[in-house]
């Protein structure tokens, strides 16, 4: 299930974040992969065109270089894993989440 992320304060110690661009074909492909996982996991989604400020804040707080598309796993309030662009596949996500 996707939850639209509106504020960095909504992120708990453990979270999954997907940064998505509505204008990028690579991001559309990545979203197809993430959709397969979204049935099993709650995923925060950020549409970068709608909320670039929040995307930048995540980069600043978690020290993660901004990419789009980008799949981020936060554990104990620290980035545990980050997948960018073509790295975002159902198989890799499941392995990281141990589904």
50-69: per-residue pLDDT in tens? 999 999 999 999 999 999 99
- Residue 85, beta-bridge partner list: none
CA 56 to chain centre: 13
Would you call the peptide bond into 69 cis, given omega within 30 degrees of 0 as the criterion? yes
pTM of the predicted model, to two decimals? 0.94
**Residues of the chain above pLDDT 90, percent:** 95
**How would DSSP label each residue in 16-67?**
EEEEE-TT-HHHHHHHHHHHHHHTTS-EEEEETTT-HHHHHHHHHHHT----
Question: Residue 21, CB half-sphere, CA atoms under 13 Å: how many?
Answer: 13
Domains in the chain (CATH in brackets) are: 2-97 (3.40.30.10)
């Amino acid at each position: 299930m996707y939850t639209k992320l509106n504020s960095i304060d909504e992120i708990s110690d453990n979270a999954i974040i997907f940064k998505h661009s509505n204008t990028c074909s690579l991001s559309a492909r990545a979203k197809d992969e993430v959709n397969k996982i979204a049935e099993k996991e709650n995923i925060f989604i950020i549409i970068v065109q709608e909320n670039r400020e929040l995307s930048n804040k995540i980069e600043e707080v978690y020290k993660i270089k901004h990419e789009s598309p980008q799949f981020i796993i936060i554990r104990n309030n620290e980035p545990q894993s980050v997948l960018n662009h073509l790295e975002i596949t159902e198989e890799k996500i499941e392995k990281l989440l141990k589904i």
